[in-house]
Amino acid sequence: MARLIQLREALQEGMSEEMRRDENVFLMGEEVAQYNGAYKVSKGMLDEFGPRRVIDTPIAELGFAGIGVGAAMNGLRPIVEFMTWNFAVLAFDQIVNNAAKTLAQSAGDFHCPIVFRGPSGAAGQLAQQHSQTFESWLGNCPGLKVVSCIDPADAKGLLKSAIRDDDPVCMMESEMLYGHKGEVPEGEYTVPIGLAAVRHYGTDVTIVSFNKMVLEAMKAAEELEGMGISAEVIDLRTIRPLDYATVVESVKKTNRLVVVDESWPMFGVSAEIAYEIQKYAFDYLDAPVTRVNSADTSLPYAPAFVEEYLPNPAKIIKAVKEVMYV
């Protein structure tokens, strides 16, 4: 049986279940304890697990990320919450130079089982320094797994898998969608890292996306259906490792691909997918792979410019029509 709950509630359930399952799991971050989290994701966890396992930190991302990495290297399983991944830039030395490299530097002898999580991407009028996406930044780094998902059931299952993983996982959420509701199963389950999900089946064109852009792709697919165009929408869920097989199989059927990515267009997830599909599914393509990205500039503050900056259903439909030659 499933329940309709919010993304924040699903994430809270995932963390709480893993903390009950394994006493080595703990949560740390800014405002996660007394305040129940900046987005109320950790609501009630301090009451259940106490201040030794739900820990408020100073506003010092590099410092508490380093504490988390050290704890992971010594047998614990930290969940480190960043109020936003934009602030996590201060902690990249710990994430990229320490956590990500532990396994390789030790020739496989030592692991760093840590989860870094928090919201990524635009969230209303938060302007340049609070609106960047980090899937492409971190997906470029060997040694990290990167998850980016806003479906409540999948997010819970992926978070549980991330906590159990013996190596570092970066989880991207969305500030705008912590209240997004979905059906979440009762009982114990996990979702494997590295598998995409088909959200909408179609035969004419494949639309690949992740995080909140999946919702924009779904809106576009509904409008396209009214135009007689059948779009298949794939939610990547995991950025690294990326499930190319699911995308290739879809392209073999539809012969066209549009990638929707909130990241900037240069050197990002969409560019990587375009390369891989044109390499491994070239003979199946009836049109070049097309991308829909945010504008190649910093996100403006003005609402009218924000609308122009981000991908939306109208831009996705335009791209689909281009690959359909209509």
pLDDT (tens digit per residue) in 191-216: 999 999 999 999 999 999 999 999 99
Q: Which CATH superfamily is domain 2-185 in?
A: Thiamin diphosphate (ThDP)-binding fold, Pyr/PP domains (3.40.50.970)
Q: Thinking of the domain 197-324, which architecture would CATH place it in?
A: 3-Layer(aba) Sandwich (3.40)
pLDDT of residue 43: 98
186 alpha-carbon distance from chain centroid: 23
Residue 156, pLDDT above cutoff 80: yes
Residue 123, pLDDT above cutoff 90: no
Domains 2-185 and 197-324 share a fold: yes
Residue 158, pLDDT above cutoff 80: yes
Q: Tell the residue number behind the tokens 């109020």, with chain if given.
A: 83
DSSP state of 175: G
pLDDT of residue 304: 82
Cis, peptide link before residue 303, omega less than 30° from 0: no
pLDDT in tens, 62-78: 999 999 999 999 999 99
State the chain's mean pLDDT as an integer.
96
pLDDT of residue 293: 97
C-alpha to C-alpha distance for 171 and 148, rounded to whole angstroms: 6
For range 276-293, the mean pLDDT: 97
The model's confidence at residue 300, banded by pLDDT at 50, 70 and 90, is confident
Q: Contact, 60 vs 68, CB < 8 A?
A: no
pTM > 0.85: yes or no: yes
pLDDT of residue 124: 74
Active centre residues (catalytic): 61, 130
Per domain, the residue ranges of the chain are 2-185, 197-324
pLDDT in tens, 97-106: 999 999 999 9
Strands 231-235, 145-148: pairing kind: unpaired
Q: What is the CA radius of gyration of the chain?
A: 20
For range 245-255, the mean pLDDT: 98
Longest dimension (CA), the chain: 60
Residue 19, pLDDT above cutoff 90: yes
Q: Rounded to whole angstroms, what are the CA distances from 152 to 23, 47, 98?
A: 25, 23, 30
